[in-house]
């Protein structure tokens, strides 16, 4: 068994947090599927900003779409949909084999819509229809406005990847929105299964406070909050409420670990992967983290609900160091929205620059 397959063996799906046209054209994504147990992928504005800026593979399509009068945002979604449809087709055997549990790709709605729930829901439905693939998630941030859009989107049958969740409370709010939508579908006599994942960001917890913590607390908050969230997740999906929904044919939303690349170069490059091996979860990891785990990662233990709750003394240490977990979670989510907004604007600007350069060359 290869190292990445060991994650699958404990019941965790391995996804790639990356997409580029070169990754598709070179056959590298197919290799990751065949050899490294990759069963899905995620994308975001930052990934596409780097992809378009780092390759000429998109230039001709950008030039052609621009010549046809398409605006930068329209051009982006054309490019991304083309890539992600191809990726979804590569993952379709996984989707079919797991009866719609695994094998998904993800595309994010414009992050500029984060405070507009109605437009977000409308755009999510539009993008999913354009994708024309059953194994296609639309990413919606788990902000206050986003939660309303998530419930309405799932009610409409749109598979949703809830993004930018950080704390247990934020996860539970997303799970509640998803569950209400499923209950409403059952009441309306609709199919009770609409796939969804709730993406909890891990490593970002450790960056903002690194300099304010004693050495014995460094790089431990992200894993601790993930452990608490996993416990809440397993309790929620094994509740009487979900037992009733399962009896109607529903399936729970799955928990996804995001932001699992190690940003501290002095730490293990597979720190968050090894710490968060857990059944009924997904781990979407950057390409370099995937390759690092394939080379030297292992699964020292499997995360267990309740048994692996963080030591109360550890959490007390964060409090004593002045860390307000609720406030930090709120600030991390707000910063995540701003970061995606910045990447989105950079992406559209890059497309406009590519379109102008390509047009000048012709």
Q: What is the CA radius of gyration of the chain?
A: 20
| pLDDT per residue as tens digits for the range 141-153 | 999 999 999 999 9
Quick check: is 220 catalytic?
no
pLDDT single digits (tens) 284-337:
999 999 999 999 999 999 998 777 889 999 999 999 999 999 999 999 999 999
Confidence of residue 344 (pLDDT cuts 50, 70, 90): very high
Q: How far apart are CA 148 and CA 142, in angstroms?
A: 9
Share of the chain above pLDDT 70, in %: 98
Which pLDDT does position 351 carry in this prediction? Answer: 94
Structure tokens at 137: 């998630």
Q: Please tell me which residue in 30, 71, 139, 263 is annotated as part of the active site.
A: 139
- For the beta carbon of residue 57, count every other beta carbon within 10 angstroms: 17
Residue 103 clears pLDDT 90, i.e. is over it: yes
pTM of the model: 0.96
CATH assignment of 3-361, among 3.30.390.50, 3.20.20.70, 3.40.50.300, 3.40.50.1820: 3.20.20.70
**Has residue 358 got a pLDDT over 80?**
no
Query: How confident is the model over 104-134, as pLDDT tens digits?
Result: 999 999 998 888 999 999 999 999 999 999 9
pLDDT of residue 308: 81
How confident is the model over 166-185, as a mean pLDDT?
98
Q: Report the distance separating Cα 120 and Cα 208, nearest Å.
A: 29
What is the model's pLDDT at position 211? 74
Q: What is the average per-residue pLDDT within 333-342?
A: 94
Q: Where are the alpha helices (DSSP H) in 156-220?
A: 168-187
Average pLDDT over the chain reads 95
pLDDT given for residue 356 in this prediction: 84
- pLDDT of residue 359 exceeding 70: no
- CA–CA separation, 112 vs 130, rounded Å? 20
Q: What is the DSSP string of 349-362?
A: HHHHHHHHHHHHH-
């Amino acid at each position: 068994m290869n190292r990445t397959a060991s994650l699958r063996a404990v019941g965790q799906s391995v996804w790639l947090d990356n997409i580029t046209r070169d990754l598709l054209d070179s056959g590298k994504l197919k290799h990751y599927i065949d050899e490294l147990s990759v069963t899905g992928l995620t994308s975001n504005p930052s990934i596409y900003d780097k992809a378009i800026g780092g390759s000429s593979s998109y230039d001709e399509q950008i030039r052609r779409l621009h010549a046809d009068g398409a605006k930068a945002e329209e051009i982006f979604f054309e490019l991304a949909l083309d890539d992600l449809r191809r990726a979804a087709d590569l993952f379709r055997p996984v989707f079919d084999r797991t009866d719609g549990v695994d094998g998904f790709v993800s595309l994010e709605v414009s992050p500029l819509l984060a405070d507009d729930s109605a437009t977000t829901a409308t755009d999510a439905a539009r993008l999913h229809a354009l994708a024309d693939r059953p194994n296609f998630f639309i990413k919606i941030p788990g902000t206050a406005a986003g939660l309303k859009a998530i419930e309405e989107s799932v009610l409409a049958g749109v598979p949703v990847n809830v993004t930018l969740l950080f704390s247990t409370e934020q996860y539970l709010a997303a799970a509640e929105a998803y569950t209400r939508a499923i209950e409403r579908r059952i009441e309306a006599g609709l199919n009770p299964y609409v796939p969804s994942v709730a993406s909890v960001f891990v490593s970002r917890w450790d960056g903002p406070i690194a300099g304010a913590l004693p050495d014995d607390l460094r790089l431990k908050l992200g894993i601790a909050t993930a452990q608490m969230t996993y416990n809440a997740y397993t309790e929620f999906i094994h509740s009487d409420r979900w037992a009733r929904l399962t009896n109607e044919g529903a399936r729970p939303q799955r928990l996804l670990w995001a932001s699992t690349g190690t940003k501290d170069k002095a730490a293990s490059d597979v720190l968050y992967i090894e710490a968060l091996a857990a059944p009924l979860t997904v781990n979407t990891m950057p390409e370099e983290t995937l390759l690092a785990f394939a080379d030297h990662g292992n699964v020292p233990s499997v995360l267990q609900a309740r048994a692996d709750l963080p030591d109360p003394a550890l959490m007390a240490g964060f409090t004593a160091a002045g860390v307000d977990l609720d406030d930090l979670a709120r600030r991390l989510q707000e910063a995540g929205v701003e970061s995606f907004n910045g990447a989105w604007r950079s992406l559209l600007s890059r497309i406009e620059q590519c379109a102008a350069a390509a047009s000048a060359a012709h």
